[in-house]
Amino acid sequence: MEITEFKKVVDNYDVVFFDAFGVLKNSSGMIPHIEKTFEYLIRKKIDFYILTNDASKGPKSLAQSYIDAGFTMINEEKIISSGMLAREYLRMKVKDGKVAYLGTKQSAHYLEETGLKALSIADLDLNKIDDVNALVFLDDEGFDWREDLNKLVNLLRLRNIPVMVANTDKSYPVSDRMVAIAVGSIADMVENITGRKFIKFGKPDSSMFIFAYEHTLSTREIDKERVLMVGDTLFTDIIGGNKFGIDTALVLTGNTLKEHYEERIKAMGIIPDFVCPSAVVY
Amino acid sequence: MEITEFKKVVDNYDVVFFDAFGVLKNSSGMIPHIEKTFEYLIRKKIDFYILTNDASKGPKSLAQSYIDAGFTMINEEKIISSGMLAREYLRMKVKDGKVAYLGTKQSAHYLEETGLKALSIADLDLNKIDDVNALVFLDDEGFDWREDLNKLVNLLRLRNIPVMVANTDKSYPVSDRMVAIAVGSIADMVENITGRKFIKFGKPDSSMFIFAYEHTLSTREIDKERVLMVGDTLFTDIIGGNKFGIDTALVLTGNTLKEHYEERIKAMGIIPDFVCPSAVVY
Amino acid sequence: MEITEFKKVVDNYDVVFFDAFGVLKNSSGMIPHIEKTFEYLIRKKIDFYILTNDASKGPKSLAQSYIDAGFTMINEEKIISSGMLAREYLRMKVKDGKVAYLGTKQSAHYLEETGLKALSIADLDLNKIDDVNALVFLDDEGFDWREDLNKLVNLLRLRNIPVMVANTDKSYPVSDRMVAIAVGSIADMVENITGRKFIKFGKPDSSMFIFAYEHTLSTREIDKERVLMVGDTLFTDIIGGNKFGIDTALVLTGNTLKEHYEERIKAMGIIPDFVCPSAVVY
Amino acid sequence: MEITEFKKVVDNYDVVFFDAFGVLKNSSGMIPHIEKTFEYLIRKKIDFYILTNDASKGPKSLAQSYIDAGFTMINEEKIISSGMLAREYLRMKVKDGKVAYLGTKQSAHYLEETGLKALSIADLDLNKIDDVNALVFLDDEGFDWREDLNKLVNLLRLRNIPVMVANTDKSYPVSDRMVAIAVGSIADMVENITGRKFIKFGKPDSSMFIFAYEHTLSTREIDKERVLMVGDTLFTDIIGGNKFGIDTALVLTGNTLKEHYEERIKAMGIIPDFVCPSAVVY
């Protein structure tokens, strides 16, 4: 499968969905020259959104990190995160009471918008759990792992409540050599201990793409054929876009490297419409 | 959670999605009096579709089984099956060559519509596989299990091609006491032997709901809030509808029984908007 | 399957292997009247050993907890723990360097006996890992979960070394209502993140039974037919004993309750030779 | 880890356990010159046994295939197979009735020795199953896959009986390019459909090594330090031998190749005492 410059690809679409990590940024910061891509998209009136499995912050905070890096065009309207999907699910299905969460106060942003009272596992008293009606895994920070994960396991033994996982990633890079355990791995451990089935959000599940597409539709009329998904990971970004029925471009700046992409595309049978060296428009 | 008559529920919607097995029919035939439901829906101008993981026949044949049972209102336009999703994926991603399939000639109906040449595993010659560009699991009949499953495993060792599973069910009832192994279980076994990742279609994956909703949109303007999903299985029908963002009704004529539904809803945290004794309108 | 008094069963054996938790003690302390069993065994010259998956302490400390409860006959010679198996494996396979461990200083007792230098993950510096030649999961205490588990994951990315899990239990009871996450669950999470295969010790793996039997042989001549395994859990104690080829007795004071034992024995097909209300000799 | 000639290794032992496939033979027949090894062992009075997960034939038939290839020294006394372990388990735990099996009549050899009546799944009538007290997976031949696997699944829904798997291999080579689905994969599929836990025999489970060692002890006094396990697969032969506490030699004529062995030993942490180019003594 041949490699095409991203500029040639993107010219054929009206809306672009970008994965964040491995496409726009990596553990060293923003991908060099990626600002040119956004300048080009704006000039060409191509709309864009960022689809991320990061539920550790609200869209405002997520956007701020781009703005701080000089990308003022990436405001909170441009961010679609798996945390929003968990929020919508709660809004529809949990009518009252408290929602316990694992994560920082900042990550609880999503929950407060539902009208439910958000309660950090760190502040939970196991003797007062009668009105705890849901639990959400948001982030790997903001709590004492040993004390609060044990508390969480016992909460689930004492209360039959829905459990949502807003980020299913297993680990995330913190430098070019080091990774950190992501909240998705913690959720898998608790699911395994308790024998429960959790409700999981985020790519490759199609709901992320539906949510983004409906969000797009609320601002403009658009056909699915005019939407492109750009990602670095075959088993989340590309299969998710393929199954949702939009075109997909694999970039080689993250999880999938130039030396392996052909073999991995074949082996997994997850076939992007395009392969580009990066998402940079030169 | 209290039980509501289906009539009171359905009156509030413009479109209803029904699961087939355990809702409209069971191993003895159609659910008694379910014809009244369709008469009522037509009288009230409530639209309906049947969403099924059955990929063993094309929509025409699936509809015929309803027509033969006297349900002339269930024509092929009303059937949305996971086989259609596999067909769309093939249409988009596999441009030429042959698509091998496991199933009956009848099940290959889906594949022929893509313009690709469909080739039963039973007819495949392992010495002539250079133009086999995809494989689809459709049905548990139409081939010699021992000979052809061994052939299929070797095909996947020799060719790196995308593999689709059009029905992820593990087993299906053939009488009130007996089940049969479904093609989803066969696919899991082959995935395990070959170490490959297959692309799976069917509930609870949201793509089934997107496809049905887009199909509905092609005939009428409709808001998601006016759509109801009716199913008997929490982990496919109800979670799928919930994540897609439509209302859901659990009926107690199939996998989830009256004596267990409250416990199972709590334990799984998959909460339908309504629980009804059946999908029959009295 | 009928229930037999433990006294009638035990009279036919020369050596008894006891599981600890659910057989001799529970979260409230020693099982009432279990001291009579040990008095009886000593009077009848029936030898006994305790086979435990608890690797959090050395045999001396494990024995001390029995001695403190007034069971002076349970000295360290009577304790066979999965930690000992990990120690033997290290002794045979890791010739030099340091062995990193997850657990308390007390749990590291096993490692120091190998002649290797034991190094707590809490004290490990990721910049000085060239001589770290093995890693052992021993206990869920003695380290900072967040900081040290992240360190451990990165250690395994940087060093290809054997990893041993000395306790494969997922959780353990801390009161009649509450459980705690066991080190086996933590090990499963890390295995899942790193994609490595760990070497696991403890029941139901036969190596625990071999080790106990060989230990017994070192003190007296004994035929396997004269050895009885007593446990509360079908899938560890009873299947382990059955596969090792010794007789097994299930007691109903722990994981397997009187109201379910017949159904569970049938469903799992793990058939003890005897079922006893408890291991108490009246 | 350096490579040592097998002759230098084997000189230090009194008994050698050989894996069969990948060590003594491959899909083309016996490994060239491997007869020299047996001549040498006999001359040096080093005893030997073949430990195999092949339960498709009794030891007599397994031995005959060696004798037919000119290896008259490999008689049935030298063969230890996982089928024997299943037989011993049945002998101890199933006292009467019939034992159903999946496999050829030839594979049922093991079952008849227990005194139980062996009944092929192919001959089973689902209306007459009240005296069927166990089920054993022996071989992938000797039955109609579609008809008889469906029958088997329903047998397990109707009868709560112990299920044994005498060969846990997933596939086996039939030529240098082709494999066949092994009975272990079929058993995994049925376990998954029925939600049951099967009792599994064969390497790497220690019971195979115990059985072989006890068999050896019945003919001569021998210390475990004088026993060597020779195999081509780290995750069955080598880890099994290591955990049993005997020395292990990895040979590079089967699953583990010369170009990968160092990396795989490190990655898995399963460390043989020796690595040899083959088991041939030159």
Q: From the first residue on, what is the mean pLDDT of each consecutive set of 10 residues in chain C (282 residues)?
A: 95 96 92 96 96 88 92 92 89 88 89 90 96 94 96 92 90 88 96 88 85 89 93 92 92 91 81 95 92
| Contact predicate D105/D67, CB 8 Å | no
Q: Residue D41 has which token pair? A: 């062992």
The CA–CA distances, whole Å, from D28 to B52, C91, D21, D22 equal: 48, 40, 11, 11
Q: Residue B191 contacts by C-beta under 8 Å, 6 or more apart in sequence? A: B197, B198
| Contact predicate D150/B181, CB 8 Å | yes
- CB within 8 Å: A149 and C146: no
CB hemisphere CA count around A197 (13 angstroms): 12
Cα gap D95→D108, rounded to integer Å? 17
Residues of A in contact with C150 (CB under 8 A): 180-181
In this prediction, residue A164 carries a pLDDT of 92
Q: pLDDT tens across B50-93, in order? A: 999 888 888 888 999 999 999 999 999 999 999 998 998 888 88
Cα gap D276→D3, rounded to integer Å? 5
B33 vs B245, higher pLDDT? B33
Three-state DSSP at C248 gives strand
Domain coordinates of chain C in residue numbers?
6-53+204-276, 83-200
Cα gap D88→D110, rounded to integer Å? 9
How crowded is residue D12: how many other Cβ atoms within 10 Å of its Cβ? 12
- Smallest CA–CA separation between D65 and chain B, in Å? 24
CB hemisphere CA count around A87 (13 angstroms): 20
Cα gap A49→D58, rounded to integer Å? 65
Q: Smallest Cα–Cα separation from D145: which of B190, B181, B145?
A: B145
Q: Is the peptide bond before C173 cis (omega within 30 degrees of 0)?
A: no
Three-state DSSP at B39 gives helix
In this prediction, residue C114 carries a pLDDT of 85
In this prediction, residue A56 carries a pLDDT of 87
Residues of A in contact with C177 (CB under 8 A): 154, 157-158
How crowded is residue C67: how many other Cβ atoms within 10 Å of its Cβ? 14
With an 8 Å Cβ cutoff, is A222 touching chain B?
no
With an 8 Å Cβ cutoff, is B190 touching chain A?
no
Contact between chain D and chain B (3 or more Cβ pairs less than 8 Å apart): yes
Q: Smallest Cα–Cα separation from D183: which of D107, D69, D77?
A: D107
Beta strands in chain B (DSSP E): 15-19, 25-26, 29-30, 47-52, 79-81, 98-102, 117-120, 132-137, 163-165, 171-173, 179-181, 199-200, 227-231, 247-251, 274-276
With an 8 Å Cβ cutoff, is A27 touching chain C?
no
Q: Residue A201 has which token pair? A: 């959000």
Cα gap B247→B231, rounded to integer Å? 11
Percent of chain D with pLDDT over 70: 100
Q: Residue A184 has which token pair? A: 């998705």
A32 vs B267, higher pLDDT? A32
Q: pLDDT tens across B88-133, in order? A: 888 888 888 999 999 999 888 888 888 899 999 999 999 999 999 9
With an 8 Å Cβ cutoff, is D122 touching chain B?
no
- CB within 8 Å: C268 and D196: yes
Q: pLDDT tens across C172-207, in order? A: 888 878 999 999 999 999 999 988 888 888 888 888
Beta strands in B20-161 (DSSP E): 25-26, 29-30, 47-52, 79-81, 98-102, 117-120, 132-137
Query: Is residue D55 over pLDDT 90?
Result: no
pLDDT tier, D245 (very low <50, low <70, confident <90, very high otherwise): confident
With an 8 Å Cβ cutoff, is B72 touching chain D?
no
- CB within 8 Å: A92 and B268: no
For residue D170, report the phi and psi dihedrals to the nearest 5 degrees.
-85, -40
CATH number of the B83-200 domain: 3.40.50.1000
CATH number of the A6-53+204-276 domain: 3.40.50.1000
Q: Residue D257 contacts by C-beta under 8 Å, 6 or more apart in sequence? A: none
In this prediction, residue A205 carries a pLDDT of 81
**Token pair 């008889």 in the structure block, residue:** D148
- CB within 8 Å: A210 and B88: no
C227 DSSP β-pair partners: C15
pLDDT tier, D127 (very low <50, low <70, confident <90, very high otherwise): very high
Percent of chain D with pLDDT over 90: 61
- CB within 8 Å: A193 and C170: yes
CATH architecture of B6-53+203-276: 3-Layer(aba) Sandwich (3.40)
| Contact predicate C206/C243, CB 8 Å | yes
Cα gap C212→C222, rounded to integer Å? 12
For all residues of chain D together, what is the average pLDDT? 92
The interface pTM score, or ipTM, of the predicted complex is 0.88
C106 vs D252, higher pLDDT? D252
With an 8 Å Cβ cutoff, is A155 touching chain B?
no
CB hemisphere CA count around B206 (13 angstroms): 25
Per-residue pLDDT of chain A in tens (282 residues, 90 and over written 9): 899 999 999 999 999 999 999 999 998 899 999 999 999 999 999 999 999 988 888 888 899 999 999 999 999 999 999 989 899 888 888 888 999 999 999 888 888 888 899 999 999 999 999 999 999 999 999 999 999 999 999 999 898 888 999 998 899 888 878 999 999 999 999 999 988 888 888 888 888 898 899 889 888 889 889 999 999 999 889 999 988 889 999 999 998 989 889 988 877 778 899 999 999 998
With an 8 Å Cβ cutoff, is C269 touching chain D?
yes
- CB within 8 Å: B181 and D158: no
With an 8 Å Cβ cutoff, is D27 touching chain C?
no
The CA–CA distances, whole Å, from C8 to B150, C43, C230, C279, D224 equal: 54, 15, 14, 11, 36
Three-state DSSP at A69 gives coil
Query: In this complex, which of B150, B171, B178 lies closest to D193 when CB atoms are compared?
Result: B171
Query: In this complex, which of C197, C199, C210 lies closest to D244 when CB atoms are compared?
Result: C210
Cα gap D140→A96, rounded to integer Å? 56
Query: Is residue B269 over pLDDT 80?
Result: no
With an 8 Å Cβ cutoff, is B270 touching chain A?
yes
- CB within 8 Å: D269 and C196: yes
Cα gap C148→C144, rounded to integer Å? 5
